[in-house]
């Protein structure tokens, strides 16, 4: 009798577990199917997932105090590209001026831009702020090589005020570039974009070339071809990549939100539009899990034969997967100083591959 009762309890227990498991599976399946429809009906969700400006890492840092991040030769500014838009800017001077920079005010930092040192305008990717750990480490490397580094948070990122959009991000970058050029005289100004920042960088440089004020060189770190191809290749899209109507559900909302970041289109010249016409350096790690290496290579293959680059140097530098630089650690490469020295030292007209 006891055996029968025990056996019945076990069957009831198994039945209860199966019922709960089935309920969980149905909920997961329902959520899986509902998400594409939610994104299609609310394209703003997709825009937020691209920008990730609400993800502020590292947390609890005071962006007004770059010295807290080990940048003791950096000044924090605030600029106003448009009415109701304010962006936070960091200006790091070359390391050789570290001692001179102590206790200096914004005017001193601005005046240093007119010195004989070249300037890099750095455009960061999505998520985080200008105080992100890997970004700070890159500023330190570039500063140690003798460059001024000017970087900022786009509207809606960090302590910058405004609503994110591709147009707004590009305009912010244009405003900072013009601010630099108004103070730097004839000193070289290079533009460096990383990840999503490569889209901002090519938008910016295209506008600069169209008005015939190109930068001295463009550096793209971990670039993609366009945002649709990047979204389709992103690891987050793996579980939906073969979902029926993937493009319609996930990629079309991006386009309808006015987001293109068309690095490939910006790199191709046409008869009527002068697109990018300056030296171009592309850096990409083979083991990049966020922006696939093949997208960077594809962008180079598009840009290299373009007529707009006919008189300029175009170079692609891959970093072997064994090095472990992935998406944001190329700054660790001991070869980076040599790469920049050789490329930027020869970024004048005279195209080489």
Residue (of 218, 200, 191) closest to 155 by Cα position? 200
Distance CA 312, CA 346 (A): 10
Give me the average pLDDT of each 10-residue run along the chain (353 residues).
Answer: 60 73 84 78 83 87 95 97 97 96 96 95 96 97 97 97 96 98 96 98 95 96 94 81 81 85 79 70 97 96 86 94 97 97 69 39
Burial classification of residue 84, based on how many CB atoms lie within 10 Å of its CB (0-12 exposed, 13-18 middle, 19 or more buried): exposed
In the prediction, which pLDDT does 348 show? 44
In the prediction, which pLDDT does 306 show? 83
In the prediction, which pLDDT does 273 show? 42
Strand order from edge to edge, sheet including 148-152: 74-82, 85-92, 148-152, 119-123, 189-194, 217-221, 280-285, 314-319
Q: Dihedral sign, CA of 94, 98, 99, 103?
A: positive
- The catalytic site residues sit at 195, 288, 327
Residue (of 200, 187, 210) closest to 277 by Cα position? 210
Asked if residue 350 lies in contact with residue 313, where contact means CB atoms within 8 angstroms, the answer is: yes
Three-state SS at 262: coil
Residue (of 47, 33, 39, 51) closest to 239 by Cα position? 33
Distance CA 279, CA 215 (A): 9
In the prediction, which pLDDT does 253 show? 83
Burial classification of residue 15, based on how many CB atoms lie within 10 Å of its CB (0-12 exposed, 13-18 middle, 19 or more buried): exposed
In the prediction, which pLDDT does 106 show? 96
CA 8 to chain centre: 61
């Amino acid at each position: 009798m006891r055996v029968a009762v025990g056996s019945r309890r076990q069957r009831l227990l198994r039945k209860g577990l199966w019922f709960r498991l089935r309920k969980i599976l149905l909920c997961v399946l329902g959520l899986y199917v509902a998400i594409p429809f939610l994104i299609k009906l609310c394209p703003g969700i997709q825009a937020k997932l691209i920008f990730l400006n609400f993800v502020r890492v590292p947390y609890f840092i005071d962006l007004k105090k770059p010295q807290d991040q080990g940048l003791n030769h950096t000044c924090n500014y605030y600029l106003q590209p448009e009415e109701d838009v304010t962006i936070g800017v960091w200006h790091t001077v070359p390391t050789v001026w570290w001692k001179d920079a102590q206790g200096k005010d914004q005017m001193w930092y601005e005046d240093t831009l007119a010195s004989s040192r070249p300037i890099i305008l750095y455009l960061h990717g999505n998520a985080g702020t200008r105080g992100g750990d890997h970004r700070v480490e890159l500023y330190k490397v570039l500063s140690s090589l003798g460059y001024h580094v000017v970087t900022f948070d786009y509207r809606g990122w960090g302590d910058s005020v405004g609503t994110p959009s591709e147009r707004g991000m590009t305009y912010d970058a244009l405003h900072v570039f013009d601010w630099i050029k108004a103070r730097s005289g004839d000193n070289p100004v290079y533009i460096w974009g990383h990840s999503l920042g490569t889209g901002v960088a090519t938008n910016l440089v295209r506008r600069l070339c169209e008005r015939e004020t190109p930068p001295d060189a463009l550096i793209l770190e971990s670039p993609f071809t366009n945002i649709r191809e990047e979204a389709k290749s992103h690891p987050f899209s793996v579980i939906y990549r073969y979902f029926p109507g993937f493009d319609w559900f996930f990629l079309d909302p991006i386009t309808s939100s006015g987001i293109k970041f068309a690095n490939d289109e910006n790199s191709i010249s046409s008869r009527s539009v002068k697109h990018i016409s300056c030296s171009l350096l592309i850096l990409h790690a083979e083991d990049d899990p966020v922006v696939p290496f093949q997208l960077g290579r594809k962008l180079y293959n598009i840009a290299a034969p373009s007529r707009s680059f006919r008189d300029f140097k175009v170079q692609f530098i891959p970093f072997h997967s064994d090095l472990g630089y992935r998406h944001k650690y190329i700054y660790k490469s001991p070869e980076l100083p040599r790469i920049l020295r050789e490329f930027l030292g020869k970024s004048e007209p005279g195209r080489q591959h």
